[in-house]
Amino acid sequence: MSTSTRPIDIERLTRARNWLAETFGLIKLREHQEFAGQNLILGISTMYDVPTGGGKTLAFYYPLFYCWEPGNEDPSCQKVVLVISPLTALMDSQAEELLNRGIPAVALHSRSNNSFDELFERTGTNDHGQPQS
């Protein structure tokens, strides 16, 4: 197991934890979500075996909330979280839920109707994949 060379920024971690819980209407994250999310932030390969409905998605969103600062154009704040799922309906509902909460998201699969131009328009990037001003 290897970790990234930079330690977790406690202030950023606290902000991410609180923002994630607030965004999804929770009092706090579960211990397993915290542990898995922090492993992901550190770059530690993590096997996360939680039953359906157990909250895996929030652990995967944790690194996004840790890095992303809306309006901050610093490259360290411009991250993408890629979640791969075999369930297109789940992908669609998760992307829609994020969009409804003001978080840029898109579900890409064979049944999606997104053109290349629409993808970059929806995710806030220009034709070259660079963030729009």
**64 and 90 share a domain?**
no
Q: Is residue 20 part of a domain?
A: yes
**90 and 50 share a domain?**
no
Q: Is residue 77 part of a domain?
A: no
Residue 99 is part of which domain span? 82-133
Query: Are 28 and 20 in contact, with CB atoms under 8 Å apart?
Result: no
Query: Are 101 and 23 in contact, with CB atoms under 8 Å apart?
Result: yes
What is the domain count for the chain? 2
Which pLDDT tens digit goes with each residue over 8-57? 889 999 999 999 999 999 999 999 999 999 998 888 888 888 888 888 88
**63 and 92 share a domain?**
no
H or E segment at 41? helix 31-42
- What is the mean pLDDT of the segment spanning 91-104? 86
Question: pLDDT band for position 127 (50/70/90)?
Answer: very low
Longest Cα pair distance anywhere in the chain, in angstroms? Answer: 41
**Which of 20, 47, 72 is a domain's end point?**
72
As a whole number of angstroms, the distance between CA 41 and CA 43 comes to: 5
**Which of 24, 40, 72 is a domain's end point?**
72
**41 and 88 share a domain?**
no
